[in-house]
Structure formats: C-alpha cells, structure tokens
Amino acid sequence: MPPRIRRAPARRTAPEEVPDRVSALPDEALHAVLSLLPAHDAVRTCVLARRWRHLWEHAPALRVTDVEGWNPRLRGEAGLRKFIRFVDGLFVSRRRCDAPLELCDLDFDFPEEDKGKDWHVNRWIMLALLRHHARVLRISLPAYVALPDVPLISQRLTRLELDGVLGNDNILDFSCCPALIALKMKCCRINAEKMSSPSVKILSLASCEFYPATRTQMSFPSVVSLELDGCSGSVPFLESMPSLVAAIVRFDDDYADRCDNSVLGDCGDDSCVDCCNYSDRSKCVCLNGLLEATHLELSAEPAMYVIRRDLNLLLACHTFAKLKTLVLGEWCMTHDLSALIRFLQQSPILEKLTIKIPKVLILSVLVSAAPRGLCLGWPFWIKAKVLKSHFTLSQSTLRLVATRGARARHLFDGAARPAGRAMASGADRISDLPEDVLHHVLSLLPSRDAVRTCVLAQRWRDLWRSVPAVRVAGARGWASADAFVLFVDRLLRLRRGRAALDTCDLDLRFDGPFPGGEQHGNRWIRRALRRQVRVLRFLLSTVPRVPLPLPDSPLVSDSLTTLELKGVLGNNQVLDFSSCPSLVDLKMEDCYVGGLEMWSPTVRNLSMRYCFFYSNYRARIDFPSLVSFKFNKNLGRTPLLERMPSLATATVRLDHFCDDRCSNGRYDDCGDAECKGCHDYYAPSDYGCVFLEGLTEAKDLKLSAYSDVYLFNRDLKCCSIFSKLKNLVLNAWFVAPDLSALTWFLQYAPLLERLTLKVSEVPNNLVETEGSYSQLEQSFAASHLQIVEIKCKEVHGIILKILEVLNANGIPLEKISIRCSGHGFACWVR
C-alpha cells in the first residue's frame, strides 16, 4: 500500500468585518427611522452600539402602541404597573433633550376596571403638550377616558385626534391652542354645552355622542372643511362659518331629532318624545353654519326633520350664494318636493346636484341653463314634471337609466349575481305567493340569507327590507369584524320606514374581543327600539368574557313585550323598565347587575341565570306583577325581593357562587368582623326578611341551595306565612342545623299538598344531635298534605330523623314515599 500523505490543516483566517453602514448615517436620518417605530422597539435599539444609546430620546415621534408584549389585559396587574412605568420613563428620559416632539401617539387599551386610568392618561397628555411641545397629538382609547376639567394649553399644537374620550366644556374650549388647525374626534362623548376654537380649519366628528336632551353649540369661525358623520344625540347648533368650503353632514337614525309622523317634526302628538323635546323652534339649528359652503353634502334618514325645518326658517331671507356642488339624501323626498325646490331656488350658481335615493330607477337630468349639470336620482321619473314647472327643462335633456338591484347587491356580501337574466324553465310559483307569506318565509331565515334573495327576481329585490324579523346568527364566518358590523348597521338602517319589526334577534358570538362593542351594540338596540320591535334578543359572547355596558339611560319602547339580554352590564337607569309599559317577559343571562335596583310594573315572567350582583351591596328587585320567577346560579349577594302579589311559580337555586355564606360554618351571625358573609349581611331586625318574603304568594315553589348557604334559614325567622303554597321542593339546605326549616314549612304552609325533599349529604352537626322532636299543638299542613316524597342516595340516620319530624307533625307513614337511587339503581319505600 502506498503511504498516506498527511495534509497540513488549512490556516483559519478571521472573517472579514462587515461595516455598519446604518450607524454611519447622519443623526437626522436615524431619528427619522426611529420615529416610525413603536416606542418599545425604538428603546430597544439602545443596545445595538454606543452611538445608539441615546438616539431614541431625540426621535421626533413617540408612539405608545398596544402590542402583545405590553398589553395590560394580557399581563395582569403586574404587567399594567410595568406598562405605566415604561410610559412614564419615556417622558422623563426626553427631559435631557431639547428637541421638540413632533408627534405623540397614545394608542392602547387600559382595563375598564382600572380606576387610575384617567389620571395616568391625563398626566401623559399634559407632559406631551406642556413639557415636550408636541405638534400632533393622537389619543386612541377603546375604553372611555374622562379628560381633565381644564382647557388644553399649547402654543405649538397644530393637530389633535381624539378617539374614545369624554370631554366637558373646559376641555372642548380650544382657544388656548392658537396654532390648532385640524381637530378630529371619533367615538367620543361630548358632554358640553359649547365647543369652540378660533383657529381650527379642519373639523371632523364621527360616531360621537352628544347630549340627547340639550344641544351643543359649535363655534368654529375659521373652519374650511367640516364633517359630521354617524353621531348620536341631539343635532348640535352650528354657528356661522365664513371660510367654509366643503361640508359633509350625515344624520342617521341615532339622532334624537326625528319623527315618523311629520316631515317637520310638529306632529302634535304628546306621546312623541322627540317632537315635544325639540327646543328653539324659531332658531335655525345647522344650515345657518353651512351657508358659505361651496361643496355640500346633506344626508339624513327620512324621519329626520331638522334640515327641512331649517329650510323653512332660513331660506326665506338667505341664499347659498357660493354653493356649486350639492348632494342630497332621502330626506328631501317629501310628497310636494318642497325641500328640493327651495334648494334649487336659493342656490343661484349651483352647477351640480346629486340626489341619493334607494330606488331602482334613476333619472339623470343634464341642464345647460342655470342651474347647470343637474343630476337627480328619482323614485319615479314622472315627478320630473314638478321640476319642469319651476325650471326651464327641455324634454331632450331627460335621460332614463335603469339599474338592476344596485342597492342590496353592493351593500351586502354573499349576494352573487345570477348566471343569466332569463329564468330557468318552469313557472315561478313561489313568487306568485302573497307578500305576507313571503315575508313570513324570509323571517324564518338568518338575515344574511334573507338579503341574498334580492337577486332571485324583480319582485324579491326589496322584500328583505320589510321582513318582520331580523336574525343575526353570530359573527363567525365573516371576513372581519368590521364587515359584520357594516352588515348589521345597514341591515337595520335600510329597512322600509313603515315596515313593522316584530322580532330582532342579535346573537353576537365572537371568538375574540368585540372591537367597539359598546358603541355598535347600543346603536343597534336603539335602532331596533325605534322600529317598534316587539321581541328583542341581544346575546353577546366574547373571548375573554367582557360585558358590554348598556347606555346610562332607560330603554324606552311602547311596543316591546319580550327582552332577552346576555353578556351586558346595566346600571340603575337601564334596569328601570318602567318606560317599557308593554314589557311582559324579561330574561337575563351572564349579565352584570351594576345597579342597586331593578324595577318594572308590568313584567310577568323573570328569569335570571349566571348574573353578577354586587358582593358588598344588596340590590333590590321590585316586580309587583310577576307571575313566574326563576333565579338560578347567580353570583354575589342575593338581592332583596319586594312582595309579588301575583306570583304563581318560583324556582330558586343558590350554589357556591352565592356570597351569603358564613366562613365559620354558622347559620346565624357568627360575630366575626373578618367574615364578609355575616358582616355585610343585612340583619333581619333592620331590614326584615331579605328574599323569602317576596315568594310568600307562590303556589309552586322550589328552593335549592348548598348546605352552607344560610340565607333561607335566616329568612325563616321573620318570614310571613305561605298562605297559597301547594307544591314545595326543598333540597339539602333544610336539614341544617336541626331540621327547623322543615318544621317551619309544615307549620306555616296551611294549604300544602305535595312536599318533595331531596337529601344529598348529612351535615356533621346534625348527625351528633340526639333526642326526638316534640309534638306541635296543631299542624295545619297535615289536613291537606297528600304526599311527601323523599329522594336520597341511601337510607341513613337523617332519613329516620325526617320521618320523626313528619310523624310529630301528624303526617302518617302512608303518605310518605322514599326513593333511593344509590348503587346505580332506584327503589321506592312506602
């Protein structure tokens, strides 16, 4: 074999060093790059190299965004404190640099239960304006934050964007910001009598809530561009805007200034709340501030009367002298077209007019004389004769354009076009059915499927708009939550004005959170009530489970008979159902009772399941007309029940979620100040019977509770007689501490006919009890009682003691049945 040749190992050479070209850039370029990053990413660059150590402190933009690593909801209380310290450190670290802050963007979500969120956010706003002189300030908070009751002061602020804040008169006075040019507010609550700024030129308010009872005065004399879109409450007063060029004003049915009886709002009906509450009838509300506009869009629901009333008050002595482009909505379609005619008469240089209306036929009118370029979308082309009587329009200028189902097909997804225009062979017998029958068929479908029927034939195009039921079966299956919200918004808004809505079933199931849920959910509820809905179901389920706060105002409806709520939070105002005089059935599940009183004079059937009550306060339930009552597995302190004279059946179950439990295992007051169950319990001597007193008129009663829940035992000490009770079911709680509860019912239920006792376990203190029970002087129950049924797993000592009590009260063994279900089988002992 040839000898092996050993090769010398190759000499290792050091890798060629790659130059750091990014760090070689000027500071201004690096600052610009860092300003595009979220703050937590920009701070992390301090470890890249020595030069980067303090670069982030000089970045002209500070972006505090809601990311997974800092989201307080995902990190608990410790994560929240860490997040607050991080943001505080950002503002403190910038003290060392003199560079002004161009942009401060605060976009994050505080937990709703955090009571200090207002203080932290307001402190960061003041630091950004007063210490760092921010030019652009953006605040975006999903949970409402109350801004401080002081004006914003800044000589450098030019743009302000607010989302999810609550402002009052002082904070909405921007006169202390002389450089402010652009103001944008979205999803804000405006609790102010006046908003003003002498310098703002661009003003946008979208989905904001104004006072429903009083009007907010808006004074912005320098505004060039104005947008009011999708707000709610009362339409604000717009003062004169001499510099106005473009304005977009959209009033939907969330505004209070609406009337379904009169186009001008003065219907004369005392029961019409919106007409009666309308103030300043001789003063123009909004059009006075829009007179100087060159481009104007006015969109409103047909029932909105503010614009039509303003036209009557204003255009008699004023004109739109600069108006060239005008877009109008359905509101101008009155029987005599007077609103449209007034606009045409008082707009001398108008060049283009567009009317947006939801009809199939569109009439396009092109006019060469003044006004030029007139475009009208018209429900019936024959109405063009009305215009010809006021303007010189030649017949050759009229052009009829037919569109096929443009409304529903473009507004809702999933409505595919038919393969061809010609119908398949065979007669269309379904379309020949009466309209009421078709409405009934569509009312059984989910609304998404009902809308898709608009492409079937000409007759089906608008049938979905008059269906008596709206059924939204969850948000799953949609491309995004925004698409789902848009569908429900338009589904409720595009219904025919006079079409009755019998049922509105909103079953909202989300695999994650519901973004903007409070705003969207409350808007849908208000729209359904305005449509005179009879049955309203609003069921919300999110992951994680977060309740949706209902508005701080009562629900008002004369036609609502059934209300079902799930996953909502209600306060004293919304839990007062006296403004719903027809309400009969009320069902609440997984709801937070955030008030101290629930009241309705008309509700006959009440069901509460898995609801959350206060732990340290006892709410009061007052339903004097109640016939059926179900109270099952609710959490917190059991409420105080008022008397129910009409009550027939009641089912109550208190389990380990109930806070009326003694930590020391006592059935009376243990006297321990550390025991919250006894310390916060309303003593019977002060408040009387807490719960059972409201059930004394029941004929059929089921009382179920864990053996350590003492509420029933304490109530029996001062409870009135059950004079109508015929059927009674008791479970394990009655055996403690000495079967006194059973003895009480035998003594104070004179008409009792059937008694069912469910025995699951035996308390230790009862097993050790010895001695027999003494004979009562007279047992009223013995004469009417027909059967006593005892259900248990096995016959033990407690069963014998129960038999002794029954025998001592004059109940013979012939009327007693014992059912044992232990060891997998059941047997009866008579």
- Residue-wise pLDDT tens digits, 333-372: 776 677 788 888 888 899 999 888 754 333 333 333 333 3
Crossing angle of helices 740-748 and 797-808, rounded to 10°: 30
Q: What is the pLDDT of residue 174?
A: 93
The yes-or-no verdict on residue 403 having pLDDT over 70 is no
Tokens 């509420």 belong to residue: 711
pLDDT of residue 355: 85
Name the pLDDT band for 127 (thresholds 50, 70, 90): confident
Rg (alpha carbons) of the chain, rounded to whole number: 35
* Residue 228 pLDDT: 93
421 pLDDT above the threshold of 50: no
Round to whole Å and give the CA distance between 30 and 15: 28
The whole-number pLDDT of residue 658 equals 86
Q: Is residue 605 part of a domain?
A: no
Q: What is the DSSP letter of 233?
A: B
d(CA 58, CA 532) in angstroms, rounded, equals 59
Q: Is residue 357 a contact partner of residue 363, using CB atoms and an 8 Å limit?
A: no
What share of the chain in percent tops pLDDT 70? 75
Q: Please list the residues that pair with 64 across neighbouring strands.
A: 106
pLDDT at 630: 95
Please compute the mean of the pLDDT values over residues 107-133 and round it to a whole number. 80
Q: Which H/E stretch holds residue 387? A: helix 384-388
Q: Has residue 589 got a pLDDT over 50?
A: yes
Note whether residue 242 is domain-resident: no
Answer whether residue 305 is part of any domain: no
Against a cut of 0.85, is the pTM above it? no
Q: Over 50: is that where the pLDDT of 87 sits?
A: yes
Question: Total domain count for the chain?
Answer: 1
105 falls within a domain: yes
In this prediction, residues 367-389 reach a mean pLDDT of 36
Q: Which is more confident, 350 or 661?
A: 350
Alpha-carbon distance 105 to 103, whole Å?
6
Given pLDDT bands bounded at 50, 70 and 90, which one contains residue 88? confident
Residue 190 lies in a domain: no
| Distance of alpha carbon 395 from alpha carbon 381, whole angstroms | 12
Residue 7 has pLDDT above 60, yes or no: no
* 382 or 613, higher pLDDT: 613
Residue 828: C-alpha distances to residues 461, 730, 795, 807, 812 (Å)? 65, 19, 11, 19, 17
CA–CA distance from 372 to each of 142, 160, 232, 366 (Å)? Answer: 46, 39, 35, 7
Q: How many CA atoms lie less than 13 Å away from 495 in the CB half-sphere?
A: 26
Task: Give the pLDDT mean for 463-467.
Answer: 90
The residue with tokens 């239920």 is 749
Q: What was the pLDDT predicted at 275?
A: 59
Flag whether 152 is in a domain: no
Query: What is the model's pLDDT at position 578?
Result: 92
| Band of pLDDT at residue 598, cut at 50, 70 and 90 | very high
Q: Rounded mean pLDDT of 658-674?
A: 68
Judge whether residue 299 has pLDDT over 50: yes
27 vs 244: CA distance, rounded Å: 42
> How many whole angstroms separate alpha carbon 487 and alpha carbon 448?
8
Domain of residue 127, residue span = 60-140+444-546
Q: In the predicted model, is pLDDT for residue 605 greater than 90?
A: yes
What's the pLDDT at 160? 95
Is 704 part of any domain?
no
Strands 605-609 and 628-632, bridge-based pairing: parallel
Q: Which residues contact 666 (CB under 8 A, 6 or more apart)?
A: 678, 710
Residue 800 in any domain: the answer is: no
Q: Hey, what amino acid is at 768?
A: E
Highest mean pLDDT among 196-200, 742-746, 803-807: 196-200
- Look at residue 135 and tell me whether its pLDDT is greater than 50: yes
Decide: 451 and 405 in contact? Cβ < 8 Å.
no
Taking all residues of the chain, what is their mean pLDDT, rounded to a whole number?
Answer: 78
Q: What is the pLDDT of residue 386?
A: 39
Residues above pLDDT 90, as percent of the chain: 27
Closest CA to 254 of 288, 219, 208, 201: 208
The encoded tokens of residue 334 equal 């009155």
Span 576-590, average pLDDT: 94
**403 vs 543, which has greater pLDDT?**
543
Is the pLDDT score of 282 beyond 80? no
Cα 112 from Cα 440, distance rounded (Å):
43
- Residue 606 pLDDT greater than 90, yes or no: yes
**Residue of 68 and 626 predicted with greater confidence:** 626
The pLDDT, as a whole number, for residue 740 is 83
**719-731: average pLDDT:** 92
Per-residue pLDDT, 429: 78
Q: pLDDT-derived band of residue 243, with 50, 70 and 90 as boundaries?
A: very high
φ, ψ for residue 386, nearest 5 deg: -65, -40
